Structures are given as structure tokens and as C-alpha cells.
């Protein structure tokens, strides 16, 4: 656990956070010592000492007789420094760090991907062989600005199956789904803007937004999608610029957006001038297609994104954006400015794998294996008093409530010490009200040690 901050450190941390999130702009005047002391409820001498230390670090400076001001040049961005001062285990980046670089032999029921031997290895290997025989430009040259045409044409056909009408010219290939989101954030947002996320939501949405120094507001998520009344109230009060959400299978809850909720969300977004990012990374895990905001909206205010890391390979970094037509050129310019050419090689291998005759059978097998994993995991969790918030129709996640008096953060720490990486609820919650929840990946829970460690570690 973090040590308790002193009063001086509280003031310093608050000023640093407000500078990092551009609440305090460069060259702007800080609140006077007297005003700050009143706001914090501390003595003026505490504030003076905090300001003096910040001045020593070069973060602020003083003008004799005029007070303290934000320095023109501030320290480099540190997501950890500007995040809320909470236990590192509930930092949005914690699960990613632990899952990507786990202790030797650690099990990862908290990670967000399939085991390596569940992925389409045979198709990827065939794709690599096919690309090795292709034109040399594929393996040696930069991609075109929009990316490999054949893959973009395939994506338009796949989207059409979800009633999303997009031309290949509206699709921009990116180096990952994460890059797709980052490009849209860069395009739409300026520091200080407000963005709405689901509560709970995929934790890396929160981490990326932190890097863009915007205000984040959470809307409660229900089994049918965002709470529409709360969503309307947030739009009215906060005037957000953007809403980001999952399509189809929601992460972490496994819930499915209902057509009625989708329709109402779009009505409210249109009235408020709100843009939406719809992340459909789990599309191929669906058994029965759900409503898509991009289909109902016609790619007017919705940016539809996805990638292939969950079904094909996490090593092949390839994602995409289907964007409103009028924004494509600007997004392409931004893509070139920040990444220049994308990976033709990755795009070509992805295209080969997706058009491989074995891909459909592979995904049917994944559906069966995940259904079987849920069937075996649920009763084993139930014996421990761990119950799902809902029973998902598809996907790998179970969003579960822990037995009474168990804190997910503390449980995750205890399990980590025994070689099991978990995903505690507040990693996903903007309001930090999910301390009694845990996200489990059923595909990563086929080892009896997971349940043994949970049993030993629960209160």
C-alpha cells in the first residue's frame, strides 16, 4: 500500500496533477497562499512550504509581490504521477504490466486475451508463408496512407454483415486497436475536454485518456448498455466531447447493448453534438450479432474501430478505423505525422489468415471452447461464493461479485504473491465503486491452482 502523504505532499501532488491535466496552464497564477490554505483546510505555512518545494523542482516560480506561477516548461508526462493516489494494484496500467511481464510461472486469469495455443497459429503460419512468396514490396516498403486495399475491402464486407455501410475509402488501417483509439483522441480532444466512459469499462481506455489530460466521467453500465437517464444527465451537466464504449461484447461485464438503448444513446449524442468511438475488438467472439451504434448512426458521429489481436495473434499489430467520410483525410494526415507508414507485412498476413479456409472453423471451435470454459468455471467460482453479475452469451469474461467483506484489491495482492495475476474491479471503474468485483477470463482458468489460490486468499 502507498504510504500516507503528508499535508505538504498533498498540496504538491494536487498542484502537479492540475498542471499535468492543464487545469493550471503554463504561466498562469496559482491560488494565493491564503486562498489555497482555505481550500485545502491547511495552515498557510504548509502551503508556503509546498510552493517552495515545487519552485525548487522547477515546476513553479515566484514573482516578488505577485505570487506563484506555473513554469513554462514542466516535467515530462508521468501517468503514474498524475493518476489518483491509490494503491498501484488498482492503477489502470497495473493489470497490463503484470500480465505482459508476469513473474515466472504465473497464471493470468486477470488478463484480456486467449492462451497462445487457442489462437489461429496454423493460419498465421500459412499467411507468413504466403506473404514470403508475394511481391517484395510487401516485406520491404511503407504501406500506403490508408493501408492494404485488399484488407480494407474485406473489412467492408465483414462490416456489411453487421449492417455497417462503409466504403474502403472510409477505412484506415492502423498498427493496433490502441493506435486507432489514440489517433481519434489526438484528432478530437484537447486537454481539459470531457470524455464519457462506461463504469466499468476497459481499463486501458482510462489509461489512454489520462495520457491525453482530459476530464473523464463514468456512466453506470447496465445489462443492456449505459444507463440512459444517467447518460442524459452527464451530457447536460458536463457537455462532453466524446463517448467511448465497446460494441457487441462489453469489457469487462460481458453485457450486450440492446437496440432500444443504442437508439436512445444515439438520439442523445446527436442532440448534444457528441462523438462516439465504438470499439468492436471482440466482434468475432459473438454467437448472435448485437446492435451496433455505427450501423444505426451510418458512420455519421460514430468512429468504428477494431483489431485482430484477440483472435489471430497479439504479435501481428494491425487495427483499423471506419470513420465519417469528412474526417478521413485529417485522420490519415495525423497517422502519417505520428507513425508515418503502417505495417504492410502485418496487414498482408492478417488478410491471408482472415481469408484462410480454416478461420471460420477456428472461430467456431473458440466459441465452443469458451462456452465449455464458462460451464466449468462458474460452479467452481460459486463454491467460493463468487457469483457473476450476469451470465454472458459469449466472450471470455465473467464480471463477478466477491463474497461479502472481501476487497478485490487486497485479494489481487495476496494472489499475486502466490503466482496468480487477477484483475480487481476498481481497475475498470471510474468512480472506484467496484471494490467488491473481479474480472475473470474463463479461457485462462483451466488450472486448478487458480481456484486453490483463490480459496486460500479469500477472507
What CATH number has the domain bearing residue 372? 3.90.1150.10
Q: Which domain holds residue 323?
A: 120-355
C-alpha 155/C-alpha 134 separation (Å) is 21
Given pLDDT bands bounded at 50, 70 and 90, which one contains residue 96? low
Which of 355, 381, 406 terminates a domain? The answer is 355
Q: With respect to residue 100, please indicate whether it lies within any of the assigned structural domains.
A: yes
**pLDDT for the residue numbered 445:** 95
Q: Three cell numbers at 294?
A: 455505427
Residue 102 predicted with pLDDT over 90: no
Spatial CB neighbours of 357, under 8 Å, sequence gap ≥ 6: none
Radius of gyration of the chain (CA): 24
Q: Does residue 436 share a domain with residue 319? A: no
Q: Where does a domain end: 306, 332, 355?
A: 355
Q: What is the mean pLDDT of the chain?
A: 90
Peptide bond into 198 cis (omega under 30): no
- The last residue of one of the domains, among 355, 370, 385, is 355
Instruction: Write out the three cell numbers for 61.
Output: 516560480
pLDDT of 84 higher than 50: no
Average pLDDT over residues 344-363: 93
Report how far residue 418's alpha carbon sits from residue 404's, in angstroms, rounded to the nearest whole number: 22
Q: Which of 83-92, 220-229, 358-367 has the lowest mean pLDDT?
A: 83-92
78 within domain boundaries = no
Q: What pLDDT, on a 0 to 100 scale, did the predictor assign at position 90?
A: 54
Task: Read off the pLDDT of each residue in 182-204 and give the average, rounded to a whole number.
Answer: 93
**Based on the domain organization, do 384 and 256 belong to the same domain?**
no
Share of the chain above pLDDT 90, in %: 70
Cα 305–Cα 310–Cα 315 angle in degrees, nearest 5 = 100
Same domain, 26 and 61: yes
Mean pLDDT in residue range 9-22: 84
Residue 452, in any domain of the structure: yes
- Phi-psi map region of 416: left, alpha, beta (phi>0 left; psi -120 to 50 alpha): alpha
402 falls in which pLDDT band (50, 70, 90)?
A: very high
Rounded average pLDDT over 71-97 = 57
pLDDT of residue 382 exceeding 90, the answer is yes
> In this structure, is residue 20 part of a structural domain?
yes
Residues 260, 230 within the same domain: yes
CA atoms within 13 A on the CB side of 268: 23
Same domain, 349 and 370: no
Write the DSSP symbol of residue 253. Answer: T
Task: Give the pLDDT band of residue 315 (cuts 50, 70, 90).
Answer: confident
Domain count, the chain: 3
User: Confidence band (pLDDT; 50, 70, 90) for 16?
Assistant: confident
Distance CA 309, CA 112 (A): 10
Amino acid at each position: 500500500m502507498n504510504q500516507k502523504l503528508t499535508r505538504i505532499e498533498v498540496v504538491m501532488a494536487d498542484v502537479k496533477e492540475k498542471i499535468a491535466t492543464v487545469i493550471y496552464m503554463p504561466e498562469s497564477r496559482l491560488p494565493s497562499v491564503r486562498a489555497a490554505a482555505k481550500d485545502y483546510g491547511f495552515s498557510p505555512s504548509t502551503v508556503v512550504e509546498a510552493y517552495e518545494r515545487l519552485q525548487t523542482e522547477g515546476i513553479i516560480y515566484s514573482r516578488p509581490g505577485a505570487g506563484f506561477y506555473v513554469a513554462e516548461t514542466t516535467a515530462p508526462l508521468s501517468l503514474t504521477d498524475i493518476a489518483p493516489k491509490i494503491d498501484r494494484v488498482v492503477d489502470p496500467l497495473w493489470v497490463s504490466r503484470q500480465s505482459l511481464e508476469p513473474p515466472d510461472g504465473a497464471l493470468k486469469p486477470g488478463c484480456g486475451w486467449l492462451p497462445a495455443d487457442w489462437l489461429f497459429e496454423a493460419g498465421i503460419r500459412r499467411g507468413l508463408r504466403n506473404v514470403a512468396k508475394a511481391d517484395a514490396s510487401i516485406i520491404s516498403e511503407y504501406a500506403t496512407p490508408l493501408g492494404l486495399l485488399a484488407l480494407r475491402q474485406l473489412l467492408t464486407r465483414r462490416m456489411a454483415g453487421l449492417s455497417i455501410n462503409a466504403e474502403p475509402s472510409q477505412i484506415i488501417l492502423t498498427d493496433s486497436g490502441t493506435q486507432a483509439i489514440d489517433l481519434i483522441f489526438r484528432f478530437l480532444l484537447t486537454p481539459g475536454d470531457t470524455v464519457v466512459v462506461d463504469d466499468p469499462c476497459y481499463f486501458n481506455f482510462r489509461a489512454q485518456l489520462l495520457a491525453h489530460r482530459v476530464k473523464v466521467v463514468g456512466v453506470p453500465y447496465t445489462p443492456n448498455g449505459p444507463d440512459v437517464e444517467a447518460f442524459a444527465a452527464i451530457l447536460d451537466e458536463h457537455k462532453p466531447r466524446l463517448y467511448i464504449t465497446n460494441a457487441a461484447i462489453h469489457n469487462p461485464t460481458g453485457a450486450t447493448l440492446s437496440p432500444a438503448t443504442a437508439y436512445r444513446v444515439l438520439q442523445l449524442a446527436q442532440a448534444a453534438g457528441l462523438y462516439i468511438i465504438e470499439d468492436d475488438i471482440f466482434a468475432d467472439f459473438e454467437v448472435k450479432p448485437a446492435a451496433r451504434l455505427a450501423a444505426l448512426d451510418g458512420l455519421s458521429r460514430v468512429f468504428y474501430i477494431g483489431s485482430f489481436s484477440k483472435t489471430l495473434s497479439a504479435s501481428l499489430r494491425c487495427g483499423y478505423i471506419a470513420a465519417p467520410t469528412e474526417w478521413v483525410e485529417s485522420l490519415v494526415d495525423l497517422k502519417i505525422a505520428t507513425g508515418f507508414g503502417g505495417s504492410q507485412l502485418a496487414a498482408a498476413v492478417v488478410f491471408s489468415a482472415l481469408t484462410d479456409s480454416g478461420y471460420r472453423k477456428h472461430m467456431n471451435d473458440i466459441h465452443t471452447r469458451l462456452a465449455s470454459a464458462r460451464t466449468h468455471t462458474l460452479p467452481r467460482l460459486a463454491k467460493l461464493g463468487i457469483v457473476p453479475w450476469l451470465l454472458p452469451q459469449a466472450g471470455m469474461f465473467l464480471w463477478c461479485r466477491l463474497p461479502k467483506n472481501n476487497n478485490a484489491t487486497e485479494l489481487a495482492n495476496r494472489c499475486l504473491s502466490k503466482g496468480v495475476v487477477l484483475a480487481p474491479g476498481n481497475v475498470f471503474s471510474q468512480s472506484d465503486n467496484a471494490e467488491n468485483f473481479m474480472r475473470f477470463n474463463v479461457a485462462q482458468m483451466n488450472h486448478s491452482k487458480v481456484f486453490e489460490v483463490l480459496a486460500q486468499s479469500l477472507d
